[in-house]
Amino acid sequence: MTDPDIYRYTRDTGDFSRLIASIPYASFIGLECDRFGDDLIFRLPKKEENLGNPILPAIHGGVIGGFMELSAAIYLMMSQDSMRMPRIVDFSLDYLRAGLDRETYAECRLTRQGNRVANVMITAWQKSRAQPIATARAHFLLED
């Protein structure tokens, strides 16, 4: 299945499994996505391979960052009707508390869209949206 076919399948069915399987790092960390109406919620399941600190235990910061960046790219791709993964220009991440070894969620919000660049805000949480573990801002170059 080609990239445009995977994109169309995802848009038509709401099944993100083929799209995620086509992105090696997303598959490796176990990224999942669920659609609720027009909203997308991204999920990072509890997975021992994602741990960075086995003493706490806590998810590796790079895994959290990769999860949030990929979530933003997929969100933007789906909201822009683009058949290509957008290219990241800048990514700024604030870690707010330890991401413990449990299921982690992320949601994205488009904060600005121009003709060439789009800005996305990402929030990641575990037990409660009111207590995020990290927030990020991502800037993407939109393809023509």
pLDDT for the residue numbered 140: 96
Residue 28's pLDDT is 96
Which is it for the CA torsion 16, 22, 26, 28, positive or negative? positive
Asked whether the beta carbons of 135 and 129 are under 8 A apart, the reply is no
Contacts of 95 (CB under 8 A, 6+ apart): 61, 64, 133, 134
Instruction: Name beta bridge partners: 123.
Output: 107, 135
Which is more confident, 38 or 123?
123
pLDDT greater than 90 at residue 118: yes
Please state which architecture CATH assigns to domain 3-141: Roll (3.10)
Whether the Cβ atoms of residue 136 and residue 94 lie closer than 8 Å to each other: yes
Q: Is residue 5 classed exposed, middle or buried when 0-12, 13-18 and 19+ CB atoms within 10 A define those classes? A: exposed
pTM over 0.75: yes
- Which pLDDT value is given to residue 31? 98
Residue 85 is predicted with a pLDDT of 84
Q: Could you tell me which residues are beta bridge partners of residue 43?
A: 32, 105
Query: What residue ranges do the domains of the chain occupy?
Result: 3-141
